Amino acid sequence: MEDIKRQLTHSSKATKQDRYGKAIAFFCTFLIGLLVVSILYLVASRGLATFFKDHVSVWDFLTKQNWNPSQVDKNGSPLVGALPMIVGSFSVTIFSAVLATPFAIAMALFMTEIEPRRGTKFLQPVIELLVGIPSVVYGFVGLTIVVPVVRTVFGGTGFGILSGTLVLFVMVLPTITSMYVDSLRAVPRFYREASLALGATRWQTIYKVVLRASIPGLLTAIIFGMARAFGEALAVQMVIGNASLLPHNLISPASTLTSVLTTGMGNTVMGTLPNNALWSLALILLLMSLCFNLIVRYIGKKGRMAK
């Protein structure tokens, strides 16, 4: 009797292990959470210093076109107009996503619907390879091939948004494709069966059921691709020309938020306005990726499929 009582009132070895495991998991989660909060705090405190300490107006920062943080204009306010970079970042992001999406859809359909076995066998390694290539290699290839080709075909220096778009296109293509492949595979088999059983051809089934059911997945994939394009620094910096001018066409040198950050990083002194202005750019980047994340979550919530 006493034995049973003791057994029941004392935690067993398994229960203790369970508790330890939980504690470790919570601790790790807490650590990561703390890390994220610290990063947010650091970027925000530096990034906002431009506006609070150096009294640059947010509106001017977002809409003025003159970027030269170490200089001041006639009125004595610093030249920190980030519009050219914001426009540059958004253009390369949107153009590369628009360009990559049809290719990604075609590749994903080929791999899942049209030729699942051979398609996956050949394209899967190709995609994995494309993901694994370091971005400096993309930039280097862009610099030696894309830039001269753009220069020969369209004139100008060859540096600019078009070259940036083309390089980013190759970089986001595997992201969008592999994510879309996953969501096509998640379309339940019984949707296809139901459609075929109603007398649909294979093609009708693909575009009336499979594509339609996977639209949320496609949007998520595109946004992930855009997030990658938006945050890519090195490869873009190598081919875009790095002129902080508002781009008027696709083949004149321009710049993005990331390219200005990487080029300017080493040339500023901590705590000064030029440095704070760079942190503000970083803050915009951070906020944008937060936006991308929220959109992805929203779409994921809306477009849930049947199990």
Partner 1 sequence: MVNVITTHNVRLYYGDKEALHGIDLDFPKQKITALIGPSGSGKSTFLRCLNRMNDLTPGVTITGSFKLDGKDIYSPKTDVVELRKKVGMVFQQPNPFPFSVFENVAFGLRLAGIRDRKLIQERVETSLKQAAVWDEVKDKLNDNALSFSGGQQQRICIARVLAVQPEIILMDEPTSALDPVSAGKIEDLLLDIQDKFTIAIVTHNMQQASRISDRTAFFLDGKLVETGLTKQLFIAPKQESTSDYLNGKFG
> Closest Cα partner for 238 from 99, 141, 132?
141
Tell me how far, at minimum, the Cβ of 108 lies from partner 1, in Å: 19
* Sheet strands (E) in 54-165: 67-72, 78-80
State yes or no: residue 186 binds partner 1 (CB under 8 A). no
Residue type, 223: I
Residues 6+ apart with CB under 8 A from 263: 237, 242
State yes or no: residue 306 binds partner 1 (CB under 8 A). yes
Nearer to partner 1 among residue 135 and residue 195 (C-beta): 195
Structure tokens at 234: 């090195």
Q: Pick from 17, 193, 271, 298: which binds partner 1 (CB under 8 A)?
A: 193
What phi, psi does 115 have (nearest 5°)? -140, 70
State yes or no: residue 204 binds partner 1 (CB under 8 A). yes
State yes or no: residue 295 binds partner 1 (CB under 8 A). no
Q: How much is the CA Rg of the chain, to the nearest whole Å?
A: 25
Nearer to partner 1 among residue 8 and residue 306 (C-beta): 306
Residue type, 139: G
State yes or no: residue 213 binds partner 1 (CB under 8 A). yes
Nearer to partner 1 among residue 208 and residue 297 (C-beta): 208
Q: Pick from 16, 118, 212, 297: which binds partner 1 (CB under 8 A)?
A: 212
Alpha helices in 232-272 (DSSP H): 234-240, 257-264
State yes or no: residue 300 binds partner 1 (CB under 8 A). no
CA distances from 134 to 130, 179, 266 (A): 9, 20, 22
Tell me how far, at minimum, the Cβ of 210 lies from partner 1, in Å: 10
State yes or no: residue 218 binds partner 1 (CB under 8 A). no
State yes or no: residue 209 binds partner 1 (CB under 8 A). yes
Contact residues toward partner 1 (CB under 8 A) are 188, 190-191, 193-201, 204, 208-209, 212-213, 305-306
